[in-house]
Amino acid sequence: MYTKPVAPLPIGGVLDDAIKLYRASFGRCFVLALIGAVLFGVIGLYAALKLQGTVAGVAAGARAQDPAAARLLFGNMIGSFIGIYLVVVLISTLIYLGLFAHINDAALGVSRGQGEVLGAALRKLPGAIIATIIFGVAIGVGTLLLVIPGIYLWGKMELWLPSMFVDDVGGIEAIGRSWTATAGNWWRSVVILSVALIILVVLELLGGIIGALVMGVMGVAHTADLVNVAIASTAIRSVLYVAILPAVPAVMLAIYNDLKLRREGGDLAARVKSMQPA
């Protein structure tokens, strides 16, 4: 059973706490992570097939010396990919809201059913969409301003999702709370989250290598049929995503809870100092 820390932890301690929180909450996150992995897999498969059809259509148009048809197919592909991107953002936001709710429940020692958690996620969804837009625009503009401002803003605003559940606030207020929580701890939070993300990327790459080996053994990768390759690759990635999807929320919640402990400890020390006679 997970025990929430009562005092600030070193960087390694926060990562260890995130692992414990991940283990304690994985069972309740499994169904939602599986749904998310399958949906992302289906969307990825559709995008691959759409790309295959468009490439074949453009090639046929080029052979027939019909540039207008090729441009139309290419334009339709761009429109489809924009639609796919918007669907992915919406689904991923809802899935992550549900995962954050589950993992935060595990941290608090409470339990809710999938329907109740999804209901909570849906109630948070409008605010999360607004926060996602603000976050994306801020990072985008900051990145255009010589990259460094974008990295700084990412580090200041990165913990808005855990704040929505730990503090039970809306998206805009959660961004403000993330900004406050990282005051004086920007490097700390960025380093911990970056280390965790690097570990997950390495695991995903290893999973991709294993998947390629499996497809090679099955003979799928040696076929010229992109459909078979895409289906096999999607199935392998989906299995991997079931394990990876809850990991990032667990790390972010562990970081945010640690920063809250540090801030509360600092506030208490300041109040004690102010009460001492001059």
Question: Does the pLDDT value for residue 227 go beyond 70?
Answer: no
Q: Pick the closest to residue 36 from 250, 249, 239, 193 (CA basis).
A: 239
Task: Please state, in angstroms and rounded to a whole number, the distance separating the CA atoms of residues 240 and 233.
Answer: 11
Question: Can you say whether the dihedral through the CA atoms of 116, 117, 120, 122 is positive or negative?
Answer: negative
**Averaged pLDDT for residues 234-252:** 88
Identify the band that residue 19 occupies on the pLDDT scale cut at 50, 70 and 90: very high
Question: Does the pLDDT value for residue 83 go beyond 50?
Answer: yes
Extract long-range pairs of 105-114: CB within 8 Å, 24+ residues apart: 105/25, 105/28, 106/2, 106/21, 106/24, 106/25, 106/28, 107/2, 107/4, 107/21, 107/25, 107/253, 107/257, 108/4, 109/1, 109/2, 109/4, 111/28, 114/31, 114/32
Question: Does the pLDDT value for residue 222 go beyond 60?
Answer: no
Identify the band that residue 76 occupies on the pLDDT scale cut at 50, 70 and 90: confident
Task: Please state, in angstroms and rounded to a whole number, the distance separating the CA atoms of residues 236 and 216.
Answer: 13
Helix axes 186-218, 247-275, angle to 10 degrees: 170
Q: Pick the closest to residue 154 from 179, 126, 184 (CA basis).
A: 179
**Averaged pLDDT for residues 4-24:** 94
Identify the band that residue 270 occupies on the pLDDT scale cut at 50, 70 and 90: very low
In tens, the pLDDT along 86-112 reads 888 888 899 999 999 999 999 999 989
Residue 268's pLDDT is what? 43
Question: Does the pLDDT value for residue 167 go beyond 90?
Answer: yes
Q: What is the amino acid identity at position 31?
A: V
Task: Please state, in angstroms and rounded to a whole number, the distance separating the CA atoms of residues 190 and 248.
Answer: 13
**Averaged pLDDT for residues 51-62:** 64
**Averaged pLDDT for residues 121-148:** 92
The residues near 192 (Cβ < 8 Å, ≥ 6 apart) are 11, 14, 15, 251, 255
Identify the band that residue 85 occupies on the pLDDT scale cut at 50, 70 and 90: confident
**Averaged pLDDT for residues 204-216:** 73
Question: Does the pLDDT value for residue 278 go beyond 60?
Answer: no
Phi, psi of 277 (to 5 degrees): -65, 145
**Averaged pLDDT for residues 4-32:** 94
Identify which has the larger pLDDT, 109 or 85: 109
Query: What is the Cα 10 distance to its own chain's centre?
Result: 24
Residue 271's pLDDT is what? 47
**Averaged pLDDT for residues 110-133:** 93
Question: Structural domain boundaries of the chain?
Answer: 11-264
